[in-house]
Amino acid sequence: MRAILTIKNLRKHFPVKNAWGTDVALVKALDGVDLKIEAGKTFGIVGESGCGKTTLMRTLLRLIEPTSGSVVISEEIIGDKVSSNNLEELTSQELRKFRRQIGVVFQDPMGALNPRMIIKDIVSEPLVIHGKTDNMRNRVIELLNNVGLGEEHLYRYPHEFSGGQRQRIVIARALALDPKILVLDEPTSALDVSVQAQILNLLNDLQKKYNLTYIFISHDLSVIEYMCDRLAVMYLGRVVEEANTEELFSNPQHPYTKALLSATPSFDKNKEKIMILGDVPSPITYLDESKAKLATEMTEQEKLEIKSIEGKGIEYIVRSSLNEVFPLVRISGEHYARKVK
Amino acid sequence: MLEIKDLKTNFNTYDGVVKALDGVNLKIKDGEIFGLVGETGSGKSVTCYSALRLLPKTGEIVGGSIVLNGEDITNVSEKRLREIRGGEIGIIFQDPLSALNPVMTVNEQIGEILVLHQNEEINDLASEKKIPAYKSEKWKASPGVEFTIMAFCMSFISLFVMLGQWRFSLPFLFVIVSMLFRNYLQGNNSASALDLLVIDALSRVKLPNPEQIASSYPHELSGGMQQRVMIAMALAGKAKMLIADEPTTALDVTIQAQILQLIKDIQKEENMSVLLITHDLGVVAETCERVAVMYKGKIVEEASVDEIFTNPKNEYTKGLLNAIPKGGKERLKVPNLKEVEAS
């Protein structure tokens, strides 16, 4: 296994201040994440909103500074003439070089494209910024051809395109500088299934053509299962399970993973259902020690919901039982999970 | 229950007429969950807005009829429509935070529906329990106005005291005292019949501490709780039919499973009809009994859920089902719309 990025014990805590500006609590958006991202493969990150997926993506791009921990970049991305291979210690010149190697595709294409710029300017902007202006027009047309658009689209504005075409433009721009890694933050969640199928096919083709490494963030498990080679499930800022996709889908270990897999709507009516009861707990941890720990006893809502589904033969887990933190252990081979009693 | 016959809706735009619905036929029976699936722009939402006559000014129904419980509501008066909306058909929208009013408490918003559609019940409950039907509106101005009035009174009091005519300051003293003890003077802080019904509506959707939630604002609640409040609002008017327009699109899968379970439970308890509009075929497979697939303002296929997933007849339905990744790594088939239209 050739790791292209190695994330070591990454933490990002956002302070919560009171009216006088003193810290009263921390939002632990990332709380000790260890991941290895393999070159040429697709690494998936799943989890519900608020679990830290996007914060992880932002720290990987160094858009925000982590509280502690490090991201180690392999030599093939950044070369061996750098002061350090730790993302946090790169000089601004080296950071520019790193950012050239990593492209980003965001969730909402209309929000990612400037409505007042024509497609030619949008796609060539990274080339201008990084000073690769020779033969730029041909390069832009080549990029557009790669994603299934053509020369006739050069002088149009984003609003003249459909949702799927806009996402293609975003992908073309992300590929402008020949990156080795592409970070895809929910690239298809704003799209219909038929358009989604087109975009997923396009991404697979591009990966083969340019030997790209994908970091694929999504909450749609059917898309994740289709795209990813390896998968990490996140819950409240921690990785609760990590395994190769087939292994994880056939043999989930952590109760949250099991519930997540069974909660995905499917056509199979006989599929085993595990409901997850209660609301997502707040990720705020108070500095005051008496309030510091998340309660592990059941909340009122969970009791109510248990009462309402009792006797219907539905299996369930309650969220408060997930609040206690257990260490990540190896299940078998490359499969890691947090064991719960 | 609800029957839509050959419904045609047009939108008049500067670029010409958009035929959003082009002859839609639907029949929703009593006590069934009916799914309406389609992609963006296929006309699913326009169907539900047309059924409730909630179209914007540019849209108009140009043909067909909508029959609710044997009554043709295509051309009924606005007055009758107001009774139908909320009273006979409840509706849940996609994004709960934009559907709820951010400056009204949950109590006020659900109370509004109850006052409009359940006035008799409120009065019955009030006379039965001997409590007031509504809470009397307290005299209350903004803090700034109250402060100004207080300051004026104080200055007059000090003026008269300085002049030695303290007797003239008594009325101003009275104003200040009555403002300070306003709550005691107006009395009656117990719950009114309306409050009890609101709490009842909230506990029907399995919300914990309904008293506390009733007095909170929408932004204080989580997404799942907001959607539960929306469902409580839709059910508060004792509607026998519920239209759910993408009720779980804005929610996570685990919360989505909870909300769908809740809709199924309530449907069974009250024997309601539910029209579930969604773009997610998985959601339909799990909740609905019958389903219709829409494409370009027409219904291209209607069948029971089991049949549509095992044996789809229409080319477009087949294309949609093939486009969903289902395990395996083979290339996804993109529906070929030209072939679809030819067939």
* Tokens of residue A311, six digits: 């006797």
Look at residue B188 in the predicted model and tell me its pLDDT. 56
Contact B5, B72 (CB under 8 A): no
Q: What is the CATH number of the domain that holds B6?
A: 3.40.50.300
User: Do residues B12 and B93 share a domain?
Assistant: yes
Q: Which string of DSSP letters, residue by residue, matches A20-77?
A: TS-EEEEEEEEEEEEEEEETTSEEEEE--TTSSHHHHHHHHTTSS--SEEEEEEPHHH
Residues B95 and B244 occupy one common structural domain: yes
Distance CA B205, CA B267 (A): 12
Q: Is B285 in contact with A265 (Cβ distance < 8 A)?
A: yes
Residue B198 lies in a domain: no
For residue B333, tell me if it sits in a domain.
no
Closest residue in B to A259 (Cα–Cα)? B254
Q: Are residues B22 and B73 in the same domain?
A: yes
- Segments forming the whole domain that contains residue B257: 2-102+239-323
Q: Are A165 and A200 in contact (CB under 8 A)?
A: no
* B219: β partners: none
Angle at alpha carbon of residue A143, lines to A57 and A226, rounded to 5°: 50
Tell me whether residue B15 is in a domain: yes
User: Has residue B171 been placed in a domain?
Assistant: yes
Spatial distance between the Cα atoms of B11 and B247, rounded to a whole number of angstroms = 25
Asked if residue B193 is part of any domain, the answer here is no
B130 at the A interface (CB within 8 A)? no
Contact B334 A266 (CB under 8 A): no
A280 within 8 A of B275, measured Cβ to Cβ: no
Tell me the ipTM for this assembly. Answer: 0.81
pLDDT, tens only, A4-15 = 889 999 999 999
Q: B143 and B90, same structural domain?
A: no
- Sheet of strand B16-28, all strands in order from the earlier edge strand to the far edge: B16-28, B2-13, B59-68, B71-72
Contacts of A65 (CB under 8 A, 6+ apart): A59, A88
Nearest to A267 among B39, B253, B285 (CB): B285
What pLDDT is stored for residue A10 in this prediction? 92
Regarding whether B81 and B33 lie in a shared domain, the answer is: yes
Residue from B55, B7, B9 nearest B27 by CA? B7
Q: How confident is the model at residue B190 (pLDDT cuts 50, 70, 90)?
A: low
As a whole number of Å, the CA-based R_g of chain B is 27
Tell which of A226, A230, A267 to mutate to test the B interface (max B CBs under 10 Å): A267
A206 min Cα distance to partner chain B (Å): 13
Last residue in a domain, options B167, B186, B205: B186
Interface test with B, best of A191, A192, A193, A254 (most B CBs within 10 A): A193
Quote the number of domains for chain B.
2
pLDDT band per the 50, 70, 90 thresholds, residue B321: confident
Nearest to A260 among B254, B281, B320 (CB): B254
Contacts of A284 in chain B (CB under 8 A): none
Contact between residue B7 and residue B50 where contact means Cβ atoms under 8 Å apart: yes
A-chain residue closest to B266, CA distance: A308
Of A260, A264, A276, the CB nearest to B282: A264
Which tokens in the block code for residue B129? 């329990």
pLDDT in tens, A168-182: 999 999 999 999 999
pLDDT in tens, B135-173: 655 555 667 888 898 899 999 999 999 998 888 889 999
Tokens of A182: 């592409």
A293 φ, ψ (degrees, to nearest 5): -85, 140
Q: Are residues B90 and B151 in the same domain?
A: no
Residue B226 structure tokens: 């907001």
Q: Using CA atoms, how far apart are residues B210 and B225, in angstroms rounded to an integer? A: 11
In a domain, B265, yes or no: yes
Count chain A–chain B contacts defined by CB atoms under 8 A: 111
Tell me whether residue B264 is in a domain. yes
Structure token digits, residue B36: 């309406």
Would you call A316 helix, strand, or coil by DSSP?
strand
B98 and B156 in a single domain? The answer is: no
Claim to verify: residue B22 and residue B98 sit in the same structural domain: yes
Predicted pLDDT at B139:
56
DSSP state of A86: B
Are A194 and B281 an interchain contact pair (Cβ–Cβ within 8 Å)? no
In a domain, B117, yes or no: no
State chain A's mean pLDDT as an integer: 86
What residues in A contact B211, CB-CB < 8 Å? Answer: none
Domain match, B145 and B67 both: no
Domain shared by B11 and B98, yes or no: yes
